[in-house]
Structure 1
Amino acid sequence: MEENKHVECCHTHTGERKSHHSDEVKKNLVSRLNRIEGQIRGVKGLIEKDTYCDDVITQISAIQSALNSVGKILLEGHLKSCVVERIQEGDDEVIDEFLVTIQRLMKK
């Protein structure tokens, strides 16, 4: 995905792991999350107005799809930077961590 080309992960001087997304990627992710937040408020309004259930479920499905897109962007950036970096450092445990992360995302 093109959005992730400037994602880096590193360890801070305290040993804490952090990801460092480019301003472009952060802006993209925050924009997507703001839209999702608006969609959720919209669904709440639909429920409060007793909107037909199927219409509400359709909106919930769109929200889930949008969240999956955010997850895919983060996952791709994580794989291409953090995971690769840690493997290059000799930390093979990151592979098991990554597999658990994928399993968590696939449950949804």
Structure 2
Amino acid sequence: MEGHRKSHHSDTVKKNLVTRLNRIEGQIRGIKGLIEKDTYCDDVITQISATQSALNSVAKLLLEGHMKTCVLERIQDGDEEIVDEFMITVQKLMKK
């Protein structure tokens, strides 16, 4: 059943997320290049930290959208199991 679920992202939100992920993909390639060039470790770690922050921003946007659409709809439909699922998702994000 889980494989059939879909998100409810508008085209604008989807474009925003893809743009952010493309930027993150570029940051990852940049980090790889820094390592290949034997760049000072502290500088590489700074770039990794910036990339992690960018990924966290994407996760926050997804989490907000998920809460306002999927979670809200399932609660309104009487499906309270979504709360446990949502809390597990939040716990996964907080471990990072």
Tell me the TM-score normalized by structure 2: 0.96
Structure 1 partner of 2:49: 61
More helix by share: 2
Query: Residue 8 of structure 2: SS of its match in structure 1?
Result: strand
**What is the CA distance between 1:20 and its match in structure 2?**
2.2
Please provide the CA RMSD for this pair.
1.0
- Give the whole-Å Cα distance in 2 for the aligned partners of 1:21 and 1:76: 11
More strand by share: 1
- Give the whole-Å Cα distance in 1 for the aligned partners of 2:14 and 2:33: 28
Tell me the TM-score normalized by structure 1: 0.85
Structure 2 partner of 1:7: none
**What is the CA distance between 1:68 and its match in structure 2?**
0.1
**What is the CA distance between 1:17 and its match in structure 2?**
1.4
Count residues with an aligned counterpart: 94
What are the Cα deviations for residues 44-73 of structure 1, in whole angstroms up to 9, with x where unaligned? 000000000000000000000000000000
Unaligned 5+ runs, structure 2: none
Give structure 1 regions of 4+ aligned residues with deviation exceeding 4 angstroms: none
Counting aligned pairs with the same residue, the percent is 81
- Give the whole-Å Cα distance in 1 for the aligned partners of 2:69 and 2:14: 15
- Report whether the alignment pairs 1:39 with 2:16: no
**What is the CA distance between 1:42 and its match in structure 2?**
0.2
